[in-house]
Amino acid sequence: SRLTGRLKKGLNSGLNHLEIIELQSDPRYGHLFVHEPAQAEVTIQADPSMPGLIHVQVDDFLSPTVVQRLRGQSRIEPMLIEDWRAMVDHIAIDPAYDGVTLRAQLADAPHKRTDIVQGRYQLQGISLPTTVAVRITDMLGEEVLVIRRVNEI
């Protein structure tokens, strides 16, 4: 065919050089195919002194995808990001998660890009025992869902 003829002509003339690489094993591009999921440490507990009050606290959050993006786009060393909240776009909490549909009773989604999520929340009037789901979404849209069963104290 004409395409094959052009390709052969280009290869024989020395003008076009094709380099065949295996993307996954080439150190220049291999990192593009490795996905490390975001991780979160969340504490969820009932308040022993107030029935129906639940405390939710995001203790730590790490999004390797956001860190890698920062490495590629700026001179900021990602390890200098001391506050995990800088990587989070929003947090949604369902204090009565049914295992299928997340119905957020509390959402922390700052309006300005310069604002950050709080990371500590209190939910009142919760019947125990219950299952609490906390969905944390990073700045690139990746989600982490943390689910905990909270029993009466």
> What does the pLDDT read at residue 152?
84
| pTM, full prediction | 0.75
DSSP, residue by residue, 106-147: EEE--SSTT-----EEEE-S--SSEEEEEEEEETTS-EEEEE
> What does the pLDDT read at residue 68?
78
Show the domains of the chain with their CATH numbers: 36-150 (2.60.40.10)
Count of C-beta atoms within a 10 Å radius of residue 153: 10
Average pLDDT, stretch 119-127? 97
Average pLDDT, stretch 76-90? 78
What is the biggest distance separating any 2 CA atoms in the chain, rounded to whole angstroms?
83
Average pLDDT, stretch 25-39? 72
